[in-house]
Amino acid sequence: MIDAHPLERAVGVERYASSTPGTGGRLRESPGDFRVREIEDFAAEPAGESAGDYPHVVVRATLTDWDTNGFARALSNRLGISRERVNWAGTKDKNAVTTQLFTVRAIDPGDVPDIRNAEVEVVGRAGRNIQFGDLVGNEFEIVVRDPDRPENANGITDELAAFGGQSTDAVAASAETADAGRSVAAPNFFGQQRFGSYRPVTHEVGLAVVRGDWEGAVLAYVGNPSEHEPPETRAAREFVEETRDWSAAIEEFPGHLRYERTVLNRLAENGGESEADFRAALETFPSNLQRLFVHAAQSYAFNRILSERMARGLPFSEPVEGDVVCFADADAPGDLTIPDPDRLQRATSERVSVLSRHAERGRAFVTAPLVGTETDLADGEQGDIERDVLADLDIAPSDFDLPGEFHSEGTRRAILVRTDIDVARDPLTFTFALPKGSYATVVLREYLKTSPLDL
């Protein structure tokens, strides 16, 4: 196996599943090189229906160079409403062309404003807001610019097909049919964007919260300078760490770092001396970002667990004794296979062979924990891995019994992501779909094998 990039190792991703050298190249040279369209399971009634029965206006937005939170903030500002009245199913990154649904509570469809770099279409009305659970998956069309070895994509596809459990004969037969529609699989890591591409600290904030260190959480966010940041930003973070002069630090931070400045304003107001003061500062974040900190901590532990499973040579495509397996969602719409973490079964010695057959047919998936208060850990060697990682991080399931939006019951998540992938040349282009919660960059990192900053 090839070791991962140092920035990836900082978020728990230690290696690649494939050993063929990467194609090289860069993603997102322009927003149009990275196109994402959400697949949602969310019905809308006609826009003329009663606002009393259907108070949420549903819009479909195609956004160029907008992250989801930024667009929601711009939309709410233009409408003069709270950002909390704008909801969506999945959070998308900037520097892409993304198409997704939003719901906006208690507005008139005719009030939807024009916003730069956004095509916004009123779809109708709904009786409730759209939620994360309404997201089924995402379709991707991604162009790689300036690849050094585009021909290596074939060998990587073969290796990822084998990683997904295809036999050598099946891989060879599939390879003869060209690149179109090849079935591949990769470790279902959380991608770099979960933690921050240039400054991966979101999980550090979350780990501090889980450990009850509210002051450490704040300083991990507003301090903690990165060599990948502009000099003035590094200087501001160094200033706040050295002085803890919250009022003076506000003036040091560039205006575009809104969240840092908001946190510092709250600390300047409340004194910034007690754990309660630091917790109140973190609670200035929107509710979804408060949850994101803890989710990032869970994601980091998950990545560490997967990396250790790879290091020990345990399979990802089939269970071993002690694993916890989830089944595919039989009611999921569309063609995607969606793991259902609510349908779990332990791979006991009596059940492991039956569950292996289900996994071979794509009906079951080995899981690892996104640890929380209600999370049960695995048995056997996988259970040893999970407990060792949590012990090393000095966290336990009970630590997630936290106040407000920081609380998390946890769940389990499939350790393998499968997809049918089309590979085209001139330019090197990948077309595929993934179930919700899985990252396109986690598949493409296997192909490019480059810095996550190029992804």
Model confidence pLDDT, tens digit, residues 231-256: 999 999 999 999 999 999 999 999 99
Q: Where are the domains of the chain?
A: 6-14+145-188+417-454, 33-137, 198-285, 289-414
pLDDT digits (tens, 9 = 90+) for 104-134: 999 999 999 999 999 999 999 999 999 988 9
Q: Which fold has domain 198-285?
A: Hypothetical Protein Yqey; Chain: A; domain1 (1.10.1510)
Judge contact between 68 and 86, C-beta under 8 A: no
213 classed as catalytic: no
**Distance of alpha carbon 23 from alpha carbon 16, whole angstroms:** 14
Digit-coded pLDDT (tens) for 388-413: 999 999 999 999 999 999 999 999 99
CATH of 33-137, one of 3.30.70.3160, 3.30.420.40, 3.30.360.10, 3.60.21.10: 3.30.70.3160
Condensed to tens digits (0 to 9), the pLDDT of residues 184-227 reads 999 999 999 899 888 999 999 999 999 999 999 999 999 999 99
Fold of 289-414: Pseudouridine synthase (3.30.2350)
Predicted confidence band of residue 179 (pLDDT cuts 50, 70, 90): very low
Average pLDDT over residues 321-334: 90
The proportion of the chain whose per-residue pLDDT surpasses 90, expressed as a percent, equals: 90
Lowest mean per-residue pLDDT among 117-121, 178-182, 357-361, 375-379: 178-182
Using one digit for the tens of pLDDT, what is the confidence trace for 147-164? 999 999 999 999 999 999
For residue range 39-75, what is the model confidence (pLDDT) as tens digits? 999 999 999 999 999 999 999 999 999 999 999 999 9
* Confidence bin at 175 (pLDDT 50/70/90): low
Cα–Cα distance measured from residue 418 to residue 268, given in angstroms and rounded to the nearest whole number: 49
Kindly name the residue from 41, 65, 67, 93 that is annotated as catalytic.
Answer: 93
pLDDT above 70 covers a percentage of the chain that reads: 97
pLDDT value at residue 197: 81
Instruction: State the amino acid at position 135 in one-letter form.
Output: L
Per-residue pLDDT reduced to its tens digit, 2-37: 999 999 999 999 999 999 999 999 999 999 999 999
pLDDT at 79 over 70: yes
Identify the band that residue 331 occupies on the pLDDT scale cut at 50, 70 and 90: confident
